[in-house]
Amino acid sequence: MSEYGNGSLYTERRYEMVEQLKRYGITNTRVLEAFLSVERHLFFDHENRDAAYDDCAFPIGCGQTISQPYTVAYMTSMLSERCPSGKVLEIGTGSGYQAAILDYMGYSVYTVERIPELFRRSSAIFGALDLKIHQRLGDGTLGWEDEAPFNGIIVTAGAPDPPPTLLEQLAEDGVMIIPIGGSAGQRMTVITRDADALRHEGFHAFAFVPLIGREGWRDG
Ligand code: SAM
């Protein structure tokens, strides 16, 4: 067994994860292909890699989690169906897995994380995998002004409301996928910029860690 565990075992586990996603209703072939190809266990610490293909969120340190595979697949499908290509900003890099999925799908990926330790951890993984993902440490509720506008913005933490600064950074016809609600749960929301109007659509309920920042929740 190598440092990275039993490769063929993980290939099989990835295949099983994708079959389960299909049973749960994920049909987007680009998303399913990305889930089959991106090695999720590489975004876990060595001692936890056997849990990488279970369909549940998992702690990554600093009180944060890598989201459940179904949640990542659900959000990525929503994005892919409305914004098939272009520049995407992710808020909440966490483990780096969601960013790697987007990169595999051919998006130009920008991602922001507020916790230095998680920023450094994901940076090391992106480097080891030679992924050309642009990343920044800071408050993602303020977006990434120098790189705006974005065709897609995907927020992977629960927000009280859509951060106004992020909305300003959406391109014309751009789409934001964001869980909105309180600590008991959030509704996955799709916001589309159409001419000068913003259209909001609510979907299923999820439970995310909080989006903490100037235009999110207060820390502590
Ligand atoms: N997308 C991640 C992945 O693939 O592992 C999972 C994200 S985890 C559920 C949410 C992340 O959002 C945490 O790493 C947290 O530190 C980060 N976060 C919360 N508020 C943030 C903010 N204002 N700016 C940037 N990151 C933030």
Q: Kindly report, residue by residue over 56-95, the tens digit of the pLDDT.
A: 999 999 999 999 999 999 999 999 999 999 999 999 999 9
Q: Where are the chain's structural domains?
A: 11-206
> How confident is residue 7, by pLDDT bands cut at 50, 70 and 90?
low
| CATH class of the domain defined by 11-206 | alpha beta
Q: Which atom of ligand 1 is nearest to the CA of 213?
A: 23
> Annotated catalytic residue: which of 8, 67, 108, 122?
67
156 Cα to the center of ligand 1, angstroms:
6
User: Distances in Å between the alpha carbon of 6 and those of 31, 41, 124, 150, 164?
Assistant: 24, 11, 22, 39, 46
**123 catalytic per annotation:** no
- Please state, rounded to an integer, the average pLDDT across all residues of the chain: 95
Taking only the tens place, the pLDDT of each residue in 28-61 is 999 999 999 999 999 999 999 999 999 999 999 9
Residues 183, 215, 123, 170, CA torsion sign = positive
Nearest Cα residue to atom 2 of ligand 1: 94
Pocket test for ligand 1, best of 109, 154, 209 (most atoms within 8 A of CB): 209
Q: Is 209 in the pocket of ligand 1 (CB under 6 A)?
A: yes
> How confident is residue 119, by pLDDT bands cut at 50, 70 and 90?
very high
Identity of the residue numbered 96: G
